[in-house]
């Protein structure tokens, strides 16, 4: 198992700059979320990790060395656009990609059957891939990417277009790989789909890193917190309005006083002042969600 | 097994199991069988009433004409005169004849033909009856003129390659057969490589493959697999041509039609090992040159519907090569043909034809091979670079400037 390090990588296509300057480190065996809006440079970054594209500038290293072809064969890749031979049968397709990654026969078929079983594709094993639904094709693609037990598995928008049942199956497969020690890099712009899978994140926008770290680190760096207080009463509101740096948030769907306050504000002292001012039935300090962090990082926060 | 072997095996199996390959091979074999049968069929057709003619005129003159026409026609009947211009019913009544020829001798021999198909007769009658015309002018029997007009010509090949003119003619038949196979094979299989590359690009499989193996190795494996299936296809076609041709010739030799039907040229095919080697060498070179070019072109398109627009210009050198090969059959040592046999992309057709029908100096053969192998390597290098970049280019097709920049990168 190795550590993946990207140091100041950049890549342009003609006049279009896809990635300006991206650096991050993915420790071995961790699950890493690459977040960003469409066109942020996520796919280009992933392609540079996999050696499909060569960076114009910067270095991608695995275990301290350059990512060469033999190293790349130990990686797995699930591209955003699904790539399958429509006329090839499911088992043959999975075995083929396994062999390309160095899995010898008949081990390739044995592993293919195990993945077919794990992903509930048994009844389709001898069907042509072109005849399968999008969800089942996605499962086949996952099996193709993971059959060789890669050290690093890069998944570009793995949940795109999947129904909840198939998304859960994929989730389960990825958890299995994570538990087996595979380093995973997932990209998505659907936070909730990868939040519970990933241990650390990197938000990219306009080809640059806007935020990175574990969720705890990202929250720690967040400049504000939200406090929610009930009931909605004038004395309580006065206390909150008097707090330096506090900003009232739009009304929620229930009667609550919601205020954004500086992250370093003394919430214990605030609670004491509120209790002194009136009856407080609810007081909650809310940490920012990954979605909040993401939206602020890309500059789209309200 | 290395990655080239894995991709080669997968590509080979995919191609050989495809319906298109099976259908193409079988239809091609059936077409070749028809070609071998065609001379016999056509021979049979012309041996029947389609050669019958009616001669009208002075009996002594029509008797001489009958002998003179014997090679090309059968005289169904001879009449001293016609009461009126003959109709189709008149021709039917005289052995379903195809024409009536009225012969007069004022001032010399003059022939008026009434035919079902007027386009056929002027040349053949004029040629066949020339001896009668000369006989009349000189006042000697036509048979004597004919006997005197024959000059024995004994042709020898200075290179010692062919025993006689008939052997040289047979070599042309062989060359023609193989050039057509080369043309069809390169055209069909280069298109097949193109479709395969375009499919992998549009399906985004290319992205997965390039993540795992070097694009040049991927391209090499594809071309090798296509060449292997093409060799199998060629083998089936050649075997069909030879076996079918020999069978037809055998049947004709033992059957009633033996005297009237022409033997199939493929039945008497006699291919030397040198010719087979030359064919295989130039096939491999031509296949590589066109294969890499078509693959590079296919990697630049974004939709399979656009294949035609990039394939069109690449067909032109194949067609030029084919037509120059046809010219080379009759003028294999013309300096212009010799020059064409050295030009890459064209020479696989032209040089092979020259080898089949003449004795090519060794230096020309070596130079042609060197130029072709060198250009195949250069094309493979350039196409490999374009292929590597083109496979991952989506959206607007690259401009010529971008392609050149890719090559210089």
Domain assignment present for residue A78? The answer is yes
Residue A302 forms part of a structural domain: no
CATH of the domain at A146: 3.40.50.300
Domain-embedded: residue A297 = no
Enumerate the residues of chain B whose CB falls inside 8 A of the CB of residue A97. 208, 212
In a domain, A293, yes or no: no
**Residue B264 binned pLDDT confidence (cut-offs 50, 70, 90):** very low
pLDDT for position B259:
44
Rounded to whole angstroms, the Cα distance separating B84 from A302 reads: 107
Query: Searching chain B, which residue's CA lies closest to the CA of residue A13?
Result: B393
Tell me, yes or no, whether A133 and A75 share the same domain. Answer: yes
The reply to whether A173 falls in a domain is: yes
Do A249 and A130 fall into the same domain?
no
Q: Is the pLDDT of residue A80 over 90?
A: no
Nearest by CB to A84, from B18, B203, B212: name it: B203
Contact A83 B208 (CB under 8 A): yes
Would A298 be classed as within a structural domain? Answer: no
Does residue A229 share a domain with residue A91?
no
Going by C-alpha positions, the residue among A33, A168, A93, A51 that lies closest to residue B214 is A51
B334 CA to chain A: closest CA distance, Å? Answer: 50
Assess whether A139 and A260 both reside in one domain. Answer: no
Spatial distance between the Cα atoms of B178 and A116, rounded to a whole number of angstroms = 49
The tokens of B245 are what? 């041709």
Write out pLDDT tens, residues A87-97: 889 999 999 99
Chain A CB contacts of B10 under 8 Å are: 96
Helix B165-202 vs helix B273-299: angle between axes, to the nearest 10 degrees? 30
Residues of A in contact with B207 (CB under 8 A): 47, 52, 77, 79, 81, 83
| pLDDT on residue B261 | 43
> pLDDT of B57-100, one tens digit each?
999 888 888 888 888 888 888 999 888 888 888 888 888 888 88
pTM of the model: 0.73
Beta pairing partners, A32: A185, A200
Q: DSSP letter string over chain A? A: ---EEEEEEEEEETTEEEEEEEEEEE-TT-EEEEE--TTSSHHHHHHHHTTSS--SEEEEEETTEE--HHHHTTEEEE-SS----TTSBHHHHHHHHHHHTTPPTTHHHHHHHHHHHHTT-GGGTTSBGGGS-HHHHHHHHHHHHHTT--SEEEEESTTTT--HHHHHHHHHHHHHHHHTT-EEEEEES-HHHHHTT-SEEEEEETTEEEEEEEHHHHHHT-SEEEEEEES--HHHHHHHHHSTT-EEPPP-SSS-EEEEEETTS-HHHHHHHHHHHS--SEEEEEPPPHHHHHHHHTT---
Instruction: Measure Cα distances from A23 to A45, A71, A182, A210, A216 in Å.
Output: 10, 20, 21, 11, 20
Tell whether A156 and A238 lie within a shared domain: no
Pairing state between β B99-104 and A282-286: unpaired
Q: Of B212, B217, B221, B395, which to mutate for an interface test with A (greatest number of A Cβ within 10 Å)?
A: B212
Domain span at A186: 4-218
- On whether the CB atoms of residues B185 and B235 are closer than 8 A, the answer is no
Does the beta-carbon distance from B211 to A51 stay under 8 Å? Answer: yes
Tell me, yes or no, whether A182 and A281 share the same domain: no
Query: The tokens of B306 are what?
Result: 């656009």
Q: Name the residue in chain A with its Cα closest to that of B399.
A: A14
Q: Which of A15, A49, A52, A70 to mutate to test the interface with B (most CBs of B within 10 A)?
A: A52
Residue A207 sits in the same domain as residue A69: yes
The angle at the Cα of A219, spanning A161 to A193, to the nearest 5 degrees, equals: 15
* Chain B residues close to A67, C-beta within 8 Å: none
Taking the CA of residue B394 and the nearest CA in chain A, the distance in Å comes to: 11
Residues A241 and A202 in one domain: no
What is the tens place of the pLDDT at every residue in B2-14?
Answer: 888 899 998 899 8
Sequence spans of domains, chain B = 3-42+163-408, 49-149
Peptide bond into B107 cis (omega under 30): yes
Q: Is residue A234 part of a domain?
A: yes
Q: Is residue A148 part of a domain?
A: yes
The rounded distance, in Å, linking the Cα atoms of B11 and B229 is: 10
CB contact under 8 A, A83 and B203: yes
A32–chain B Cβ distance below 8 A for any pair: no
Same domain, A188 and A280: no
| Tokens, residue A95 | 């075995």
User: What distance in Å separates the CA atoms of residue B75 and residue B272, rounded to the nearest whole number?
Assistant: 44
How far are the Cα atoms of A97, A145, A178 from residue A173, in angstroms, in the given order?
18, 12, 9
User: What is the end-to-end Cα distance of chain B in Å, rounded?
Assistant: 32
A53 and A175 inside one domain: yes
For residue A99, give how far its alpha carbon lies from the nearest alpha carbon of chain B (Å).
7
A115 and A102 both lie in a single domain? yes
Q: Which fold has domain B49-149?
A: D-Maltodextrin-Binding Protein; domain 2 (3.40.190)
What's A254's domain CATH number? Answer: 3.30.70.250
Query: Within this chain, do residues A200 and A77 fall inside the same structural domain, yes or no?
Result: yes
Tell me how close the Cα of B28 comes to any Cα of chain A, in angstroms.
24
Which of the four pLDDT bands, split at 50, 70 and 90, describes residue B371? very high
**Cβ separation A96–B6 shorter than 8 A:** yes
pLDDT, tens digit (0-9, with 9 covering 90-100), for A93-130: 999 999 999 999 899 999 999 999 988 898 999 999 98
What residues of A are in contact with residue B392 (Cβ under 8 Å)?
47, 52-53
Q: Could you give the 3-state DSSP secondary structure of residue B61?
A: helix
Domain count, chain A: 2
């Amino acid at each position: 198992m190795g550590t993946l390090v990207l140091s100041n990588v950049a890549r342009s296509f003609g006049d279009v700059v896809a990635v300006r300057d991206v650096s991050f480190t993915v420790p071995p065996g961790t699950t890493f979320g690459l977040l960003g809006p469409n066109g942020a440079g996520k796919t280009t970054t992933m392609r540079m990790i996999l050696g499909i594209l060569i960076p114009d500038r910067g270095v991608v290293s695995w275990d301290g060395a350059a990512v060469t072809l033999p190293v790349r064969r130990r990686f797995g890749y699930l591209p955003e656009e699904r790539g399958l031979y429509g006329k090839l049968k499911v088992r043959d397709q999975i075995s083929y990609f396994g062999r390309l990654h160095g899995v010898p026969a008949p081990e390739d078929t044995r592993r293919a059957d195990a993945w077919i079983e794990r992903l509930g594709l048994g009844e389709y094993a001898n069907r042509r891939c072109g005849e399968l639904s999008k969800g089942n094709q996605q499962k086949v693609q996952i099996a193709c990417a993971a059959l060789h037990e890669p050290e690093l598995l890069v998944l570009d928008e793995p949940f795109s277009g999947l129904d909840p049942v198939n998304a859960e199956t994929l989730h389960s497969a990825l958890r299995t790989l994570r538990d087996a020690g595979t380093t995973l890099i997932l990209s998505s712009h659907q936070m909730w789909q990868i939040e519970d899978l990933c241990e650390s994140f990197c938000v990219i926008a306009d080809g640059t890193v806007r935020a990175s770290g574990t969720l705890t680190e990202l929250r720690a760096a967040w400049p504000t917190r939200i406090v929610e207080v009930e009931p909605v009463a004038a004395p309580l509101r006065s206390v909150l309005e008097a707090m330096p740096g506090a900003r009232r948030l739009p009304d929620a769907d229930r009667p609550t006083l919601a205020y954004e306050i500086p992250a370093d504000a003394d919430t214990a002292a605030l609670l004491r002042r509120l209790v002194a001012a009136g009856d407080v039935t609810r007081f909650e300090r809310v940490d920012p969600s990954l979605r909040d962090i993401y939206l602020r990082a890309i500059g789209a926060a309200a | 097994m290395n990655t080239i072997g894995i991709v080669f095996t997968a590509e080979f199996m995919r191609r050989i199991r495809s319906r298109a390959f099976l259908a193409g091979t079988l239809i091609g074999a059936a077409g070749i069988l028809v070609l071998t049968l065609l001379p016999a069929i056509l021979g049979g057709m012309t041996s029947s009433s389609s050669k019958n003619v009616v001669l009208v005129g002075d009996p002594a003159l029509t008797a001489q004409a009958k002998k003179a026409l014997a090679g090309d026609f059968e005289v169904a009947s001879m009449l001293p005169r016609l009461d009126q211009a003959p109709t189709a019913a008149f021709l039917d009544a005289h052995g379903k004849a195809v024409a009536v020829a009225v012969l007069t001798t004022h001032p010399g021999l003059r022939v008026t033909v009434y035919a079902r198909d007027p386009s056929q007769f002027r040349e053949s009658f004029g040629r066949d009856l020339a001896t009668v015309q000369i006989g009349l002018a000189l006042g000697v029997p036509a048979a004597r003129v004919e006997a005197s007009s024959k000059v024995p010509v004994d042709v020898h090949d200075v290179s010692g390659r062919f025993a006689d003119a008939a052997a040289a003619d047979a070599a042309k038949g062989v060359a023609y057969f193989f050039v057509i196979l080369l043309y069809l094979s390169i055209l069909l299989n280069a298109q097949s490589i193109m479709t395969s590359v375009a499919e992998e690009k549009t399906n985004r499989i290319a992205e997965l493959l390039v993540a795992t193996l070097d694009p040049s190795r991927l391209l090499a494996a594809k071309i090798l697999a296509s060449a292997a299936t093409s060799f199998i296809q060629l083998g089936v076609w050649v075997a069909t041509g030879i076996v079918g041709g020999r069978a037809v010739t055998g049947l004709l030799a033992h059957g009633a039609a033996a005297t009237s039907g022409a033997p199939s040229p493929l039945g008497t095919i006699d291919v030397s090992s040198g010719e087979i080697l030359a064919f295989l060498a130039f096939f491999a070179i031509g296949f590589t040159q066109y294969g890499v070019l078509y693959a590079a072109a296919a990697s630049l398109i974004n939709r399979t519907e656009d294949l035609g627009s990039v394939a069109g210009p690449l067909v032109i050198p194949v067609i030029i090569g084919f037509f120059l090969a046809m010219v080379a059959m009759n003028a294999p040592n013309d300096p212009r043909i010799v020059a064409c046999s050295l030009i890459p992309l064209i020479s696989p057709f032209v040089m092979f034809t020259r080898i089949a029908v003449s004795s090519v100096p060794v230096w020309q053969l070596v130079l042609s091979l060197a130029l072709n192998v060198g250009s195949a390597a250069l094309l493979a290098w350039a196409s490999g670079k374009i292929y590597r970049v083109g496979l991952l280019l989506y959206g607007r097709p690259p401009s010529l400037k971008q392609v050149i920049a890719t090559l210089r990168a």
